[in-house]
Chain A
């Protein structure tokens, strides 16, 4: 039982490049979330989804897009990466009765 799996785990991008982070879960949870965490700061919500085909903006959505075409997958896209998007990205899932479970994180560096 893998739980929540994020791919890739590490990535280095050049400014202006695009990429997609994948979060896959096998727990049949309705709710999925993308966070970023920067040094000395807490987790900030980028986007979230309350079910297949739905997405909503979080606290820091600018520069990111998301899609949830299948219940088990939540994709986070960076269309034109910027150095300010250098961060650790975490995906989380939540059932209606909680608690949340996290992927291992993606460490992204934009140069």
Chain B
């Protein structure tokens, strides 16, 4: 079983749609959680950190459920510019080993 698993893509949605990504992690000792965005094999860029209390940044909302070892990302009012691959990332262990999910590709069409 992979340490971090994400929904398989791609997600093809029209502009204005709401889309949700899910991610599960296997190591209960995971400490920090993030969503990154990656465009066309460029470097991943931080989208947002994820906290148990949930956090929101404009159209993006992230949620962490430690009991279920589950992380989510909600994108409201999708834009064409949201088309990218979204990566779920966790840090594990005292040495902060940084583990990535395989990513979920989002394609927003007019």
Contacts and interface: CB of A to CB of B under 8 A. Distances in A.
A8 B93 CA distance: 31
A58 B44 CA distance: 19
Contacts of A45: 97-100
Bin the interface of chain B by size. Answer: 20 to 34
Interface residues of A, number: 25
Given A102-B44, A103-B43, A56 B95 contact: yes
Interface of B: 32, 34, 41-46, 49, 87, 89, 91, 95-103
Per CB-CB distance, the 9 closest pairs between chain A and chain B, nearest first, are A42-B102, A102-B43, A43-B100, A98-B32, A50-B95, A99-B46, A99-B34, A31-B96, A42-B100
Interface of A: 31, 33, 35, 37, 41-43, 45, 48, 50, 56, 58, 88, 90, 92, 94, 96, 98-105
